[in-house]
Amino acid sequence: MFKTHKYQTLFKFSFLYALQNYKTLIGLIIFLITCMTIFAHLWQVVADKTEAMHLHSSQLLWYIAFNEWLLIALPDIQDDIEEDLHSGRLAYLLPRPISYLWFMFIEGLGVLCARLIVLGFSTFIFTWIRTGDIPFTWSTFLFVIIIGMLAGCVGIIFKMLIGVSAFCEYSCALVG
């Protein structure tokens, strides 16, 4: 039977650990703001040269902010899965009464939620100060946050698939 208590506890611990790891969060915030600044200037130059962009510069910065917010917040689960495989830790984790893949997904989800909150707040403040306006309603803003969470879950699943593909690489290396 699928008991949610252990997964809720795992989510809580991974969420709190991600928040306590403030050095990583500060580094991600600096990286996010740097990327947003570079991409905003780059896209503005492209828009001026080609006249192909029909977005106002503030709308373009909000678009870049949403994309970078989500992409930088995704945890690197594939590296953890690959490390578990190569170190032999996976053999220790598999017989436990918790599914390894659910364990990795819930742990990644906790980290993702913590990063989305911290990076989202930082991104919102930076973009709002930079543009001076908010080009959407609050209901649209809530919708964007929900879509961001769902996209983050899909991103975690894809990163898990990349990590699981290390099994194929590792088993082929053992056979060949």
Question: Which pLDDT band holds residue 93 (cuts at 50, 70, 90)?
Answer: confident
- Residues of the domain holding 99: 13-175
**Res 48 pLDDT > 80:** no
DSSP one-letter string for 18-69: HHH-HHHHHHHHHHHHHHHHHHHHHHHHHHHHH----S-HHHHHHHHHHHHH
72-87 mean pLDDT: 90
Global pTM reads 0.86
- Residue 60: inside a domain, yes or no? yes
Q: Is residue 2 part of a domain?
A: no
**Where is pLDDT greater, at 5 or 48?**
5
Q: What is the DSSP letter of 171?
A: H
Asked whether the predicted pLDDT for residue 1 surpasses 60, the reply is: no
Question: Would the pLDDT of 10 be above 60?
Answer: yes
| Amino acid in the structure at residue 157 | I
Q: Considering the domain boundaries, does residue 7 fall inside one?
A: no
Domains: count for the chain: 1
What are the angstrom distances between the C-alpha of 63 and each of 11, 48, 85, 135, 163? 29, 17, 38, 10, 29
Banded model confidence at residue 157, pLDDT cuts 50, 70, 90: very high
Amino acid symbol at 166? A
Angle of helix 5-20 relative to helix 100-131, nearest 10 degrees, comes to: 40
